[in-house]
Amino acid sequence: MRADRTFGGVNLEVMKVFVTQPVPEPSTSDLLSGFEVVVGRPDAWPEEGRRHLPDSDALVPTPRERVTEELLELAPRLKVVANCAVGTDNVDLEACRRRGIVVTNTPGVLTEATADLTWLLILAVARRFREGDALIRSGTWDGWKPMELMGASLGGKTLGVFGPGRIGTAVARRAEAFGMRVVVCDAADGLGAFERLLAESDVLTIHAPLTPETRGRFGAAELGRMRRGAILVNTARGPIVDEEALAAALASGHLGGAGLDVYEEEPAVHPGLLPLPNVVLLPHLGSATRETRLAMARTACAEAARVLCGEEPRHRVA
């Protein structure tokens, strides 16, 4: 239903917002109440995009939907892509720039949730959570043993942070509570800093955005230069790590374990990772607390509304 309303002198009557998947409410229901809002289905992209983009003024996608140039070509009215995520690698930013389409993201609101989940993975891998849980469920545990499922202590070890932005910094802050030393390396730092990160980290955690510079940054050679027995954690974007090379480094025993929340070809996971007991795999849950996902949805809807009302958005990336 089209709204019959004006806001700040702007006629909202003909403005349509396509939200690619259901998001926590209240978000669309109050922040986009003056617009026509269409909510898609999780498994229906890009078909629903092709159907709705031709008359949409705003698009609210999630990391699951790739907003390609081919789809943008179908969207002559589109003014804003308000991504419901902090990462914007799912959106062709250059194509948006060329068309004058504003792109926004949701920084800040998911920092702490993602840092918490990163530590969940670090601890789960270091303390062999999966194997312990499986032992109990197997019904074969017969009691305390001095050398059963010994993991790695974290105190006194080195945490390497690749990408010390908001989330990387929040992860590093938590390291103090575990008595870890921290080394950081920005994706733009020189080779020296990157090599030091590889060589010194007992636990290396990735928090850089996916860009042409970070894609494939952790390949077989780089993983080979990490410490024997080190743990790799990735809660940023899957394609930063070569999954096949990671599976090989884990299977050979060179790396001690891995905790992954993101994958090269989501939702697919490299089959070589699945049987390994020292790998903890989560389905892209970094920001998945009720509070955080609601805050992300509200941020994205508010950004879409701002742009449609002719205001400057708060989190513009293009």
List interacting residues with ligand GLV (CB under 6 A). 63, 85-87, 110, 286-287
Give me the least distance between CB of 92 and ligand GLV, in Å please: 16
* Residue appearing with tokens 């250059």: 94
> Which lies closer to ligand GLV via its Cβ, residue 59 or residue 110?
110
The answer to whether 260 and 273 are in contact (CB under 8 A) is yes
Q: Is 157 exposed, middle or buried (0-12, 13-18, 19+ CB in 10 A)?
A: buried
Positions annotated as catalytic residues are: 237, 266, 284
Sheet holding 102-104, edge to edge: 36-39, 16-19, 58-60, 80-82, 102-104
Q: % helix / strand / coil in the chain, to the nearest 5?
A: 35, 15, 50
Smallest distance from the beta carbon of 10 to ligand GLV, in angstroms? 29
Asked if 162 contacts 206 with a C-beta cutoff of 8 angstroms, the reply is yes
Tell the smallest beta-carbon distance from residue 274 to ligand GLV (Å): 22
Min separation Cβ 302 and ligand GLV, Å: 16
Q: Which is nearer to ligand GLV, 28 or 287 (CB)?
A: 287
Residue with smaller CB distance to ligand GLV, 106 or 201: 106
Distance separating alpha carbons of residues 305 and 34, to the nearest angstrom: 9
Peptide bond into 61 cis (omega under 30): no
Residue whose CB is less far from ligand GLV, 54 or 283: 283
